[in-house]
Structure 1
C-alpha cells in the first residue's frame, strides 16, 4: 500500500505539468484511503471556481459540476468556509456546514430528492445522494484554496476516524504536490471568468423588493442557517428574524422556504443561460 502510494505520488510530481497529474494524485490517495468518487476545484474570491479533476463517470454528474461551477457553489459549506478563512486540513462536511444545513431545502433538493427536475441539471449537485464526504483543503498562493472531496456510501459506513487520521498523515504531502500541479494548471487555465459574489447575486435576485436586512436574512436562509443562527450572526432577536422572514416572503410572493430556494435557483439558471449564450461555450468540465 505504501509502496503503491509512493509510486503514484512520485509520478504525480514528475508529471506536474501534464493533464493527468491531478488524477495520479487521486490514485495515490486512493491507495491509502479508498473512495468511490472524488472531485477537485480551486476557489477564488469574487470569481467562479476553477475545475481541476473529477472521477464522475456519467453525464448527469458532469452536468452537476458544470452548474456547480456556474453558480451554485455559493451555497457550498466548503466555499463559504473558505470565504471565512478556512485553513489547510482534513474536514468532514458536517464540520463545515451551518447548523441547519442538512435540514434545509437546498440540501434536500440537491442531495436527497434524486428525482427532481433534471432539465435544470441539479440532480446531483456534485454530492451524489447517499454519500458521505470528506474534504482535503489545500491553501494556495494568492489567497486561493483547493478542495479535494472524497465520497463513500454512507450506508457502507462512510469514512471512519482512522480514515481521516490516515489522510491527516499524508496531508502535508498532498498539499505540496497539489501546489506544484496548480502552478501549471493556473497558468494554463483559460477559465478565469469572474462570477458575482453571493451578495451581488442576492442583490439582483431581490433588487427593488427587499430591504438590506431582508437580503441578509434571505442570504443566511439560503446558506442553511436556522433562525437561531441568523439571530446570532446578525445580532438581532429570533422574533425579529421571523418578522424579516415573513416580510421578505410577502414581498416576493412566497409562502415557504422551498419556494424561496426555487426562486433563487431559477435566477441562477437564467444567469447560467445568459452566460452560456454570450460565451458560446459548451462544457466547462472536460472528460478525463
Structure 2
C-alpha cells in the first residue's frame, strides 16, 4: 500500500486529537483539524436538551468580553434556530446542513437578519450525536460563504470518527451534561405566555404555536400543514395575535418574543 504525505499528515492529526480528548483544548483542536481540509469561520460545541442549550466551547469573539448576540441565542433565540427545532422534533445523529432544516421563509425572519447573518453570515453545517432520548451533542460549523457539495461530502466522510470523538468527549463533560438532562417546562411556552399575561393580552395555546412557527420562518402553508389546519385559519390566528398584542408587523412580534425570553 502506497501512502501519500497527505495520508500521513491525516493519521498524525487524528492521533493527536485522540491524545487530547480529555484536555481543555479538545474542541479547538478538533475545529483546527477541520480547517486543514475545509475552511470554517466560526464554530460552537453545545448540548441540546429539554432546557436551554449548554455551551461547552465556541470560536473566539473578536470584540471585548463575551459575544452579546450569542448570549441572546442562549437566553432564548435558540428557540428559533432551525437546527434546534429540527433536533427537538426528531432526535437523530448525522451531519445536517442549513438547507436541510431551514423552513421556507427562514431568510426573511428577524432571527436570520439580526442574528444569523451577523454570527454565522452565510452557511452552517452541524454534526449531531444523539446521546439518549433527550440529549444531543452538537458541533456547528459556520462560514462566510456556502459549503460546496465536495466539502459537504468530505465533512460527511469524516463523520464516523468525528462522532466517535465527540461521544468520548462527553465523559469529560459529564457533570454539566447530567445537569442539563433534568426535565423542564418548555421554555418557549412558559415565558412568552407569562409575558403576554402581564400585558393583559393572553394568547391561546394554538396562537402561541402559530407565533413560534411564524418567527422560525414557516410560511402559512407550512404552518397549516404542521398544525393540521387550513392556511386561511393560520391567517385568522395571525390577525388575532397582532390585534391582541396591538402590533402591526412580525418585527414587533420578534421584539416581544426576545424581550420575553431574556426576562424569563
Superposition TM-score, scaled by structure 2 size = 0.86
| Preserved CA contact (<8 Å) 2:82 2:101 | yes
Correspondence list, 1:70-81, <5 A: 70-81=75-86
Matched, 1:150 2:154: no
Partner secondary structure for residue 247 of structure 2 = coil
Q: Which residue of 1 aligns with 2:43?
A: 38
| Preserved CA contact (<8 Å) 1:139 1:175 | no
Structure 2 gap ranges (5+)? 1-5
Q: Which residue of 1 aligns with 2:3?
A: none
Q: 1:95 aligns with which of 89, 97, 100?
A: 100
| Preserved CA contact (<8 Å) 2:91 2:133 | no
Instruction: State the alpha-carbon separation in 2 of the partners of residues 111 and 43 from structure 1.
Output: 18
Q: Which residue of 2 aligns with 1:28?
A: 33
Aligned CA RMSD, in angstroms, stands at 2.3
Partner secondary structure for residue 12 of structure 1 = helix
Structure 1 gap ranges (5+)? 113-123, 272-288
Deviations 1:14-68, CA, capped at 9 Å, x for gaps: 22221111222212222232212222211112x1111122223323773322222
Matched, 1:57 2:61: yes
Correspondence list, 1:106-121, <5 A: 106-112=111-117
Correspondence list, 1:1-288, <5 A: 1-45=6-50, 47-59=51-63, 62-112=67-117, 124=118, 127-129=119-121, 131-141=122-132, 143-154=134-145, 158-187=146-175, 192=180, 196-207=186-197, 209-271=202-264
Instruction: State the alpha-carbon separation in 1 of the partners of residues 176 and 54 from structure 2.
Output: 11
Deviations 1:85-119, CA, capped at 9 Å, x for gaps: 1422222112111221111232223234xxxxxxx
Q: Closer, same or farther in 2 for the Cα pair 1:140/1:190, shift >3 Å? A: closer
